[in-house]
Chains A and B, each alone.
Chain A
Amino acid sequence: MIAIIDYGMGNKHSVYNALKYIAVDSIITRDAGEISRAERIILPGVGAFGAAMENLRQFGLEDILHEEVIVKGKPFLGICLGMQLLAETGTEKGLFKGLGWIAGDVVKLQPAGTGFKLPHVGWNDIELVRDVGLFKGLKKEKAFYYVHSYAMRPADENDLVATGNYGVDFTAAVLKNNIFATQFHPEKSQKNGLTVLENFVDWRV
């Protein structure tokens, strides 16, 4: 069973639908007991950093997630905003403290040159920095769907596993121990996205 964390930010049902399609049981929840019983945890999210952190704290999820992911070491997947929240600080509409699981911060994309509209919306390729099992089986064209204006800057380059480019290189995915996170939306990236979700489900940390 996978717990999809419900903290009032974004497209939790899309993640649920994608997992259902690949025949994986999941539950959309913010209940400590249910999260504790789950084998894996997904933190989805679309929206602004500050509001998201406030919601996580308000629902008591910061502590619950720390217990399950950091202390117990359950496999974890953060998606889009759910990835950015892992950083130490976010800079969207103010300065906010994140979960701090991945050293680094979240800053606005600053593409060099003209014609790079924000948000960065649409399909873009990723480049693998490290060949990790979570990306096995992708099509030759490694295109994924993105919607974001901000991206994480991990302080430790060992945490970086994939980059994208939009007038500037940005972090497409990070991996640290049992924590995996993507800036793109696997649940909206058709075949490649379902492959990443399947890999996450099969992932042995």
Chain B
Amino acid sequence: MLKKRIIPALLLKDGRMVKGKNFSQFRDVGNPVTAARVYNAQKADELVFLDICPTRESRQVVCHIIEEAACECFMPLTVGGGISSCEDIKDFLDIGADKVAINSAAVRNPELIREGAEMFGDQCIVVSVDYKTRSDGTRRVYIDSGKTEVDLDPWEHIQRCTALGAGEIMLTSIDHEGMMQGYDMDFIAMVSGMIDVPLIANGGAGRLEDFKQVLAETRASAVAASSIFHFTDQSPIKTRFFLSNNGVNVRV
């Protein structure tokens, strides 16, 4: 049986690891390579690195972080932030990333998904979808690390991305992100029940029960989280024991 995955997400800004609430109020939470080492020791299933302020300079720093992490962390590494061409994808795969997360370019240039999937295989193309829910209950996609609203429904966007060859979808509710009050269950349940590729649910974990809820009640293949690992004494290792004891199929 395929196991559900626990994926710490490391947000990067100017070479440091940061964490915010609803994609703002970022604070420094340490050195990303050190954190990756710790997560490796705690048997995380994968790691996701996201550069939230991608620039030409930050790209070099992120590459360096991935290179260092890849020397010691023998698990899948996903990297995202400012990826807009097949050359970008190749650069990251060449230095040790296994997958890339495409966010803004999936809206501005969806063909990149098809090109990337054809060139490198769909297994390494993760499309990261950030969205907010409006007061009338409709949802809108956001890009540029949550700074730009797009007149696009996330479910419509996800369908287009999977049709183009996205190998996985990482879904983040900006409203829930960093609030540690649980995941956006309804939408995760809906999307994970409809798509044919794995869904990584992200944004909102504050308690171990939140992981359990997503993994037991929806068809999400994985949970991503960061605040719970930065700001509480929970770790991937404690998470997997809790989940395993509660009947969720995880690595122990």
- Residue positions of A touching B, CB distance < 8 A: 10-11, 13-14, 17-18, 20-21, 46-48, 115, 117-125, 141, 143, 145, 147-149, 165-166, 187-190, 193-194
B124 contacts chain A at the CB level, 8 A cutoff: yes
Is there an interface contact between A123 and B196, defined as CB atoms closer than 8 Å?
no
B167 contacts chain A at the CB level, 8 A cutoff: yes
- Supposing A119-B197, A124-B1 touch, asked if A190 and B74 sit within 8 A by C-beta, the answer is yes
- Residue positions of B touching A, CB distance < 8 A: 1-5, 40, 43, 45, 70-72, 74-76, 93-96, 98, 120-124, 167-168, 195-198, 219, 221-222, 251-252
B76 (CB) vs chain A CBs: closest residue: A188
Residue of A13, A20, A123, A190 ringed by the most chain B CB atoms within 10 A = A123
Bound-state CA distance A83–B39 (Å) is 30
Minimum Cβ distance to chain A for residue B167 (Å): 6
B75 to chain A: which residues have CB within 8 Å?
A: 145, 188-190
Could you say which of B98, B122, B168, B197 contacts A14, with CB atoms under 8 Å apart? B98
Could you say which of B95, B98, B120 contacts A47, with CB atoms under 8 Å apart? B120
Is there an interface contact between A122 and B2, defined as CB atoms closer than 8 Å?
yes
Query: Can you list 5 A-B pairs with a CB-CB distance of less than 8 A?
Result: A121-B168, A123-B2, A123-B45, A143-B251, A187-B74
Is there an interface contact between A17 and B71, defined as CB atoms closer than 8 Å?
yes
Minimum Cβ distance to chain B for residue A199 (Å): 15
Bound-state CA distance A152–B196 (Å) is 22
B121 (CB) vs chain A CBs: closest residue: A47
Bound-state CA distance A10–B93 (Å) is 8
Could you say which of B1, B43, B196 contacts A117, with CB atoms under 8 Å apart? B196
Is there an interface contact between A122 and B3, defined as CB atoms closer than 8 Å?
yes
B1 to chain A: which residues have CB within 8 Å?
A: 124-125, 165-166
Could you say which of A13, A46, A165 contacts B96, with CB atoms under 8 Å apart? A13
